[in-house]
Amino acid sequence: MAAASPAGSVVVFGSLNVDSTSYVDRFPLPGETLASTGFATALGGKGTNQAVAAHRSGAVVRLVARVGADASGDFALASLTRLGLDVSSIAAVPDAPTGVAQITVDASGENTIVITAGANAALTPELVVDRHDDIAAADLVLTQGEVPAVTIERLAAACARFGTRFVLNLAPPVDVSRGALAECDPLVVNEHEARSVGIAPEGDGSADAWRAAAEAAVGRVARSVVITLGGAGAVGAGPGASVACAAPEVDAVDTTGAGDGFTGTLAAFLAGGAPLDEAVAAAVAAGALAVQRRGTTDSYATRDEILHAMEEPA
């Protein structure tokens, strides 16, 4: 049972941003100025979001990230400490600003995002070598497309060397070698990202069609594959098994970071020994809970909340 699964260890090599979010009734047209209905400054970055979600889902998490030597970096470290994460593997880069995400959320919960990498560019392949001991000791290593492609490839090689499970959320899509993709267990993508690596459904693009596409990608693209389908849920496939998990109907207020909540939860459950179908179900439940709250990291559910949601009828 999921509740009895041990707490696995997850090392996240990931981006760290400070999000500046404006809430609007609708998105502005080109050249138009609109007044917002609200504003918030919060912790963000796909790597950091996923690390927080994995932590709240019960994993023991080490986040390897970089910030600038600035007020935003201080804010980020204080926010992570408040959330209970270890910040000992986060260093300040003296000649770069902390990464920034400028986000706009409309009344339907949809968003637009502009990212400035800043100190995140310092996540170099050499840093992977420095963290070989952490990688070897972890149950799972997680990274994202906001990390430089050469660093992703070095991480994949290190995980293969040490026998550590490697999970890549290819968001946004970056040009990663086929060899690195082949090590992913799983490769986590949305529909657009799936097509960017040659995974596409036949016919109507239904959940069943995407499930078949995931099955066909096992061993051809990656060791296992999970594809998120937005409000329709997610599908996944590994050697000899596949899953399609529908999402519950909820009133979404903010979709920002929901995919990261999904991926971090997925990683935590896999690191704890859950099979792929159970981990996908937990991740879908976590994503549905996240969209019902504003913000990113503060919207992520606890493990108990996720397990309770999994028990509720869809």
Catalytic residue list: 260
- Quick check: 97 and 68 in contact, CB under 8 A? yes
Q: How far is CA 42 from the centre of its chain?
A: 17
Torsion-angle region of 227 (φ positive above 0: left; ψ -120 to 50: alpha; else: beta): beta
The rounded distance, in Å, linking the Cα atoms of 227 and 292 is 21
Cβ contacts of 4 within 8 Å, gap of 6 or more: none
Which residue in 225, 296, 303, 314 sits closest to 258, CA to CA? 296
H-type alpha helices, the chain: 46-56, 71-83, 125-130, 132-137, 149-162, 178-182, 191-196, 207-217, 258-271, 276-290, 303-311
Instruction: Identify which of 241, 243, 263, 262 has the alpha carbon closest to the alpha carbon of residue 141.
Output: 263
CB 204, CB 229: distance < 8 Å: no
Lateral strand order in the sheet of 234-238 = 90-93, 60-68, 9-13, 140-144, 165-169, 184-190, 225-228, 234-238, 241-245
